[in-house]
Amino acid sequence: MEAQAVKTNLVLILDFGSQYTHLITRRIRSLSVFSLCISGTSSLKSITDLNPSVIILSGGPHSVHAPDAPSFPDGFVEYVESKGVFVLGICYGLQLLVEKLGGEVRVGEKQEYGRMEIEVLKESCGLFDCRKIGDKQMVWMSHGDEAVRLPQGFEVVARSQQGSVAAVENPGRRFYGLQYHPEVTHSPEGMATLRHFLFNVCGVSDGWTMTDVMQEEIKVINEMVGTEDHVICALSGGVDSTVAATLVHKAIGDRLHCVFVDNGLLRFKERERVMETFEKDLHLPVTCVDAVEQFLSKLKGVVDPEAKRKIIGKEFICIFDAFANDLEQKTGKKPAFLVQGTLYPDVIESCPPPGSGRTHSHTIKSHHNVGGLPKDMKLKLIEPLKLLFKDEVRELGKILNVPVPFLKRHPFPGPGLAVRVLGDVTEGNALDILRQVDEIFIQSIKDAGLYDSIWQAFAVFLPIRSVGVQGDQRTHSHVVALRAVTSQDGMTADWYNFEHKFLDDVARKICNSVRGVNRVVQDITSKPPSTIEWE
């Protein structure tokens, strides 16, 4: 679905770098309202082309009075007022509104981080659903600066228990601001505030559904792909590419040609299991290409994670180009399009926020679907899921009758085990060891009935050896790490707290069953500060 296709009821988030920005997008979508997030420093044309009904200015780590503070573009205020667009500033967004409209923001005498009680000072039907003066609620604060003088026409609606401005409004100009974060669960009444603001104040309707997404996507695909054009789909065996393929197949039928590449970086028996699912359950036309030697020979000696991702992306395209040439011989028409299961978090993580000092070449990581492909690629991309989160893709998959067990599969990175073997993936038998360890770990999770409670679980092969004792002999063997996290969308995550007995059983199975491993460790780091994958 192209964002431009949503011409009404779009809630547009301008991202100024808050770690919670994606949560605003998700919370609004959970209300069946389409929401989209773009950089806070996007051009005015980028904003006007989307024709939003509501614009939310996100939080961020910056000070609005700093010389390099990110801001919305020139002409923004005039645009929203002329079009009657509602604007809600959150945290930094509130301070940005105050500063740009003639008020004043200073470093606060007292900083406010974490839970804080606020009190309503003015009956506001705009922000607090006509709450009475004196009503209190607990919210989540995260700011060091504070608004000390409001622009003309603005009023303070609520203050914190320390006396700082917590909410402001100017209903006549349709400007509103919250100093706290209503999108996080630590603000218990935050969702009620957002719901009231969007539906009762802004007049947004809740008609956005996954069925609408499916129908809109089919329309977009048919407009993009000619009636005689053929399309290639890169199937990884994961949820994203499978749902994308099923959607495109529904749109154009047998003119879709799926290719599953065995690049030597797959999990234990992944090739056999995935191909059986494609053929028996999904009835997708799939060709399996054995490219193990092609990939591993190019990865030999490569230890840099970014370099590994780039090499893998390039080799995939070489295979797709060759596959396209073979199809041209068979069909008489060369495919012009490539389908990928790019998701919205891929896009967000590959585009650093404004004010971070990073450009698109300095990202968290180059996703296989975003930034990992060569610029001279001949095939045009079709990315039908690029504005959706993982749980939304699963919901779409249900509508498309993709088997539920398949939709529940944990995410698997495009570069495969290349980013789970730290260092050179071809050194020794690292890949074989990792496959065995990972299979034991995942099967143990399934046997314990924990698989559906975990967002993602996997093993990592570490480039170190440790001293151990096995069979009364000293060993100097490999170390593996176990990683399991809970998450809603992969943007943030917390480590899964297994019972000690489960970990003890798994560690024993691994050391007793996998030759060459004598130590098992667990990764108990959340995201942030870590990413889910190790590379």
State the DSSP code for 407. H
pLDDT at 488: 79
Q: What phi and psi values does residue 189 have, to the nearest 5 degrees?
A: -100, 10
Q: Is 69 helix (H, G, I), strand (E, B) or coil?
A: coil
**Mind listing the domains of the chain with CATH numbers?**
11-201 (3.40.50.880), 210-408 (3.40.50.620), 430-522 (3.30.300.10)
Can you say which residues are annotated as belonging to the binding site?
236-242
Q: Is 211 helix (H, G, I), strand (E, B) or coil?
A: helix
CB 291 within 8 A of CB 315: yes
Can you say which residues are annotated as belonging to the binding site for ATP?
236-242
State the DSSP code for 402. -
CB 410 within 8 A of CB 457: yes
Strands 11-15 and 517-522: unpaired
* C-alpha span between 220 and 2 (Å, rounded): 8
99 catalytic per annotation:
no
**Catalytic entry in 22, 62, 143, 181:** 181
Tokens of 506: 């798994």
pLDDT at 111: 79
283 catalytic per annotation:
no
2 catalytic per annotation:
no
Q: Is 268 helix (H, G, I), strand (E, B) or coil?
A: coil
Q: Is 83 helix (H, G, I), strand (E, B) or coil?
A: helix
pLDDT at 360: 30
Tokens of 281: 């359950």
Tokens of 129: 């659903």
pLDDT in tens, the chain (535 residues): 444 444 458 999 999 988 788 889 889 998 999 998 889 999 999 999 999 999 999 999 889 988 889 999 999 999 999 999 999 999 999 999 999 999 999 887 777 878 889 999 987 777 887 778 888 999 988 888 889 999 999 999 999 988 899 999 999 999 999 999 998 888 889 999 999 999 999 999 998 889 988 998 999 999 999 999 999 998 888 899 999 999 999 999 999 999 999 999 999 999 998 898 888 888 888 999 999 999 999 999 999 999 999 999 899 989 988 898 999 998 888 898 999 888 887 776 655 555 444 433 233 344 444 444 556 667 889 999 988 888 899 999 999 999 888 899 998 888 999 999 999 999 999 999 999 999 999 999 999 999 999 999 999 999 999 999 877 788 899 999 999 999 877 877 899 999 999 999 999 999 999 999 999 999 999 988 899 999 9
Other CB atoms within 10 Å distance of the CB of residue 465: 14
**Catalytic entry in 183, 217, 270, 535:** 183
pLDDT at 18: 86
* C-alpha span between 451 and 435 (Å, rounded): 18
User: Helix H segments across 338-389?
Assistant: 344-349
Strands 136-149 and 104-120: antiparallel
pLDDT at 123: 78
Query: Exposed e or buried b for every residue in 252-270, given b needs 16+ CB within 10 A?
Result: beebbbbbbbbbbbbbbeb
**Catalytic entry in 22, 37, 62, 91:** 91
3-state helix, strand, coil in the chain (%, to 5): 35, 25, 40
